[in-house]
Amino acid sequence: MGQATVNAVNAESDLQLVASIEIGASLEKELQEKKPDVLVDFTRHEAALTNIQTALKHHVACVVGTTGFTESDEDKIKGWCKESGTPVLLAPNFAIGAVLLMKFASEAAKYFDWSEIIELHHDKKIDAPSGTSLRTAKLMQQMAKKRFKEVSGEKVLQGARGASVDGIKIHSVRLPGLIAHQEVLFGGLGETLTLRHDSISRESFMPGVILSIRKIRTASGLVIGLENFL
């Protein structure tokens, strides 16, 4: 994702890449010397938290695609944003189609009482369930204003039925060859509805990343989700 972002930024005439930093390098030094307007972070949860705090101390806006943040983490970031007067975007997915899938799933959630999510990612993804699936389940629950019903049954192996988020079961698949994929399945009386999105290359995330870089400086505080910029 880092290399894809570098290539995408370099391809835009109105954007200038001033630094490319790996985990472990001195972000503080780069911020002091290069003075960027925006930091894009695709690292790991622990590193991202530190990077955000450091960037905000220098009043550098942040576009963050790293996932795994807890509500406590989000509260910390909100506080840092307020102290520095600088915005941060946390986006679990930058693909436009993935954002639309969340929107469509949220709308469908009002009409179905049973739903399950299958998310499939490459074998190097660390967190499970994915940030996208957790965000999808949260938006569905908010729109439906209800807890989804769970199908009862005996589990021969622990974990076979996935993790539950307000009654929505989430199943995580990790395999080489995958990039990022998600299915949201709804069940009703005599019918099912399936919504699916597939990212078949990391280029699918770049339009959302570029859009966020251009818009983040006009935002305020902590923004969660790319849909806020569409």
Task: Please answer whether residues 109 and 140 qualify as being in contact, where contact means their C-beta atoms are separated by less than 8 angstroms.
Answer: yes
CA atoms within 13 A on the CB side of 227: 16
**CA-wise closest residue to 106 among 138, 131, 130, 133:** 138
Contacts within 8 Å (CB) and 24+ apart, 79-84: 80/52, 80/53, 80/56, 81/56, 81/221, 81/222, 82/221, 83/56, 84/56, 84/57, 84/59
Displacement of CA 214 from its chain's centroid (Å): 18
Catalytic residue among 58, 103, 125, 138: 125
Neighbours of 62 (CB within 10 A): 26
d(CA 8, CA 48): 21
Is 151 in a helix, a strand, or coil? coil
125: annotated active-site residue: yes
**CA-wise closest residue to 148 among 171, 111, 115:** 115
Q: What residue type is assigned to position 10 of the chain?
A: N
121: annotated active-site residue: yes
**Annotated active-site positions, please?**
121, 125
